[in-house]
Amino acid sequence: MQKFEIHIIGCGSALPTPKHLPSCQVVDVRDKLLLLDCGEGAQLAWRKTGLSWQKISHILLTHAHGDHVFGLPGFLSSMGLLGRTAPLYVHGPSSLRPFVQCVVAQFCSDLDYEIHFEAVDTTRHQLLFEDRSMEVWSLPLQHRVPCCGYLIKEKPGQPHIRREMIDFYQIPNWAINRIKAGQDWTTPEGEVIPCSRLTTPPDRVRSYAYCTDTMPSPPLAEWLQGVDLLYHEGTYAEAEAALAERYHHSTARQAALLAREAHVGKLLLGHFSSRYDDESVLLREAQEVFSPTLLAHEGLRITP
């Protein structure tokens, strides 16, 4: 399988604690990196991942609340100080434009790379960008302010070569990439060996969805159908359901109901309220509804 890995940098909520940093994670799709949200302290915690700043092409922000963006100024500055030259695309609701523009104007004017802000329409589920490896889609969320999640879908890779068939037909190395790309092979005797006999199908494509912050939002179940891994906020336990409703957040159980309805592969809970010293209550309440549920934690690496 090709690389598709999520690194959790922070999965706390509004108040950072010694246990949890605010929201931030990295998605590594075949060595192309996306940063999802950028809470305070992200730049320092990032270094523990061992990943290269140079490989970040896009930063995807969900909304204009501090615990999702206060690490951005430092992250942008330090990338510049460490020699970044490639342009960077920062996506997020248009309400974040003034903050990003202010930071770029005041603190990034002497850096050697360009920063482009791309406003995301938080009311539409649509393709934002793609490359050879992935598609990135927006997911409308329902929070106190305009907010969107992100859905990252792998693109199909190439079929796998069947080494024993290559050996049997004595096919030279220069032909391998053509066969992977779908060409049949013609032997010196003129026999046509169909590509399908020389290869096995590509790996299944995987998908990851990042949904925070949001109250339960019915359309999500359709957009998330069959997603392999869903990170969803489970800020509160059921005992605090009234708080969840008041602040437009979800309980862990509500996240699990969505995961079940959307038939996702696994649910990863995060954005934990600082009131829980022990989040096992959140895990338990979610697993009652949807058993393949996990708790996020700083330093977790997970594959969809």
Copy the structure tokens of residue 27: 């998605």
* Tokens 């930063």 sit on residue: 59
| Interaction between residue 14 and a copy of itself (CB under 8 A) | yes
Q: How far is the CB of 14 from a copy of itself (least distance, A)?
A: 6
The one among 30, 32, 44, 94 contacting a copy of itself by CB under 8 A: 44
131 catalytic per annotation: no
Q: Which of 28, 37, 67, 228 is catalytic?
A: 67
Q: How far is the CB of 274 from a copy of itself (least distance, A)?
A: 10
Q: How many whole angstroms separate alpha carbon 87 and alpha carbon 104? A: 13
Q: How many whole angstroms separate alpha carbon 216 and alpha carbon 225? A: 15
Q: Mask: binding to a copy of itself, 85-104, rule CB under 8 A, as x and -?
A: ----------x--xx--xx-
Q: How far is the CB of 40 from a copy of itself (least distance, A)?
A: 4
CA neighbor of 54 nearest in space, from 12, 96, 91, 88: 88
Question: What are the φ and ψ backbone dihedral angles of 259, each rounded to 5 degrees?
Answer: -60, -40
- 173, with CB counted inside 10 A (0-12, 13-18, 19+), is exposed
| Interaction between residue 82 and a copy of itself (CB under 8 A) | yes
Rounded to 5°, angle at Cα 153 from 150 and 159: 170
With b for 16 or more beta-carbon neighbours within 10 A and e for fewer, the 201-238 pattern comes to eeeeebbbbbbbbbbbbeebbebbeebbbbbbbbbbbe
Stretch that binds a copy of itself, among 26-34, 42-50, 207-215, 229-237 (CB under 8 A): 42-50
| Interaction between residue 51 and a copy of itself (CB under 8 A) | no
The one among 5, 32, 49, 78 contacting a copy of itself by CB under 8 A: 78
The one among 66, 87, 156, 194 contacting a copy of itself by CB under 8 A: 66
Compute how many residues bind a copy of itself; rule: CB under 8 A: 28
* Tokens 């706390």 sit on residue: 12
| Interaction between residue 119 and a copy of itself (CB under 8 A) | no
Instruction: Determine if the peptide bond prior to 121 is cis (ω within 30°).
Output: no
| Interaction between residue 273 and a copy of itself (CB under 8 A) | no
Crossing angle of helices 280-287 and 252-261, in 10° steps, is 30
Copy the structure tokens of residue 36: 């999802």
| Interaction between residue 139 and a copy of itself (CB under 8 A) | no
| Interaction between residue 71 and a copy of itself (CB under 8 A) | yes
Binding site for a copy of itself (CB under 8 A): 14-16, 18, 40-41, 43-44, 47, 64-66, 70-71, 73-74, 77-78, 81-82, 95, 98-99, 102-103, 105-107
- Which positions are annotated as active-site residues? 67
